[in-house]
């Protein structure tokens, strides 16, 4: 069963499955993500072990999601189909890394971001585990579960709004969280990631983008990740300028440049997805 064939289900299934998926699968994956986050902190000083743990937990989370779709919803889990996985994940990785790099280079041109030296190459290692955790778990939950569940009943536009708002609000749990930063993330990242999902109707490009942005932000440019992780990366940098431009203690996600660049990229992908006919109307219009 695909998203476009939902109208073939009995009405009770069309309402029950999205609700069950949201509550049971979404709740379970969220709890699992908290466990992964705890282990990320526990093994912070042992990056290789931390990477292995996050890879293992991420694989289990994907298996749980896939099993739920096959056994409970009794559908083809097209959003995790494997043909083209490397191409889509790689494209997302390049988009995420590229967008953050454009933001950082903009600050360099303005004289706000100044590189004063390089740290050892080993500083590139710790951020891999964080990128794996956030890329896999958050995309399974917010695009795979929340977006799809809302979309199944109320259509794609409602799915975008619900998943984007929730994605921004969840970042209020981070240590240096700010409401403004959460709002920015809802707009720039929420729209971009939902548009990426709608562009392909698969999750790999979303995971790749998420991993690419978070990894480059922390491991290369030594930036604070959404008010949370602020470990030094490869570049020894001094960032001095208005919070509106730098993002302040929350990180680049609260910068006006990230808002402009990421939102623009999201709109472009959303327009392409609309032209491909990938957006679904509300259930009662199908």
Residue 1: pLDDT above 60? no
**pLDDT, tens digit (0-9, with 9 covering 90-100), for 73-104:** 889 999 999 999 999 999 999 999 999 999 99
Residues facing residue 114 across a β-bridge:
238
Give the three-state DSSP class for 137.
Answer: helix
Quote the CA–CA distance of 174 and 214 in Å, as a whole number.
14
- Residue 5 scores a pLDDT above 90: no
pLDDT tens per residue, range 26-48: 999 999 999 999 999 899 889 99
Q: What are phi and psi of 208, to 5 degrees?
A: -60, -45
Give the integer Cα–Cα distance in Å for 263 and 191.
7
**pLDDT at residue number 283:** 87
Query: Residue 3's pLDDT is what?
Result: 47
Confidence of residue 16 (pLDDT cuts 50, 70, 90): confident
pLDDT digits (tens, 9 = 90+) for 104-148: 999 999 999 999 999 999 999 999 999 999 999 999 999 999 999
Q: Residue 234 has which token pair? A: 């490869």
Q: Which residue has the tokens 């956030």?
A: 134
CA–CA distances in Å: residue 151 to residues 22, 72, 194, 279 = 11, 18, 11, 9
Residue 160's φ and ψ, nearest 5 degrees, are -60, -50
Tell me how many domains the chain contains. Answer: 1
Share of the chain above pLDDT 70, in %: 95
CA–CA dist 28, 24 (Å, integer): 6
Q: Cα(first)–Cα(last) distance of the chain, in Å?
A: 15
3-class DSSP state of 126: coil
pLDDT of residue 177: 76
Residue 128's pLDDT is what? 95
The confidence band for 256, taking pLDDT boundaries of 50, 70 and 90, is very high
Percent of the chain with pLDDT over 90: 78
Task: Give the domain extent around 68.
Answer: 3-285
């Amino acid at each position: 069963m695909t998203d476009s064939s939902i109208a073939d289900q009995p009405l009770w299934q069309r309402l029950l499955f999205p609700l069950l998926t949201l509550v049971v699968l979404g709740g379970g994956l969220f709890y699992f993500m908290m466990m992964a986050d705890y282990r990320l902190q526990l093994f912070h000083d042992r990056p290789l072990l931390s990477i292995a743990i996050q890879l293992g937990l991420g694989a289990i989370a994907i298996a749980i999601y896939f099993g739920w779709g096959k056994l409970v919803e009794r559908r083809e889990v097209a959003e995790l189909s494997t043909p083209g996985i490397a191409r889509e994940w790689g494209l997302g990785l390049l988009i995420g890394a590229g967008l953050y790099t454009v933001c950082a280079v903009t600050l360099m041109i303005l004289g706000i971001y100044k590189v004063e030296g390089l740290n050892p190459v080993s500083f590139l290692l710790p951020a891999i585990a964080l990128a794996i955790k956030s890329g896999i778990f958050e995309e399974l939950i917010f695009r795979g579960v929340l977006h799809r569940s809302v979309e199944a009943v109320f259509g794609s536009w409602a799915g975008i709004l619900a998943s984007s708002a929730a994605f921004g609000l969840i970042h209020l749990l981070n240590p240096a969280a700010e409401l403004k930063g959460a709002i920015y993330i809802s707009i720039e990242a929420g729209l971009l990631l939902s548009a990426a999902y709608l562009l392909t109707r698969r999750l790999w490009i979303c995971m790749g983008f998420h991993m690419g942005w978070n990894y480059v932000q922390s491991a290369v440019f030594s930036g604070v990740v959404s008010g949370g992780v602020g470990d030094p990366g490869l570049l020894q940098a001094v960032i001095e300028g208005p919070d509106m431009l730098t993002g302040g203690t929350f990180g680049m996600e609260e910068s006006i440049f990230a808002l402009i660049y990421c939102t623009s990229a999201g709109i472009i992908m959303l327009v392409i997805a609309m032209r491909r006919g990938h957006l679904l109307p509300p259930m009662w219009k199908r």
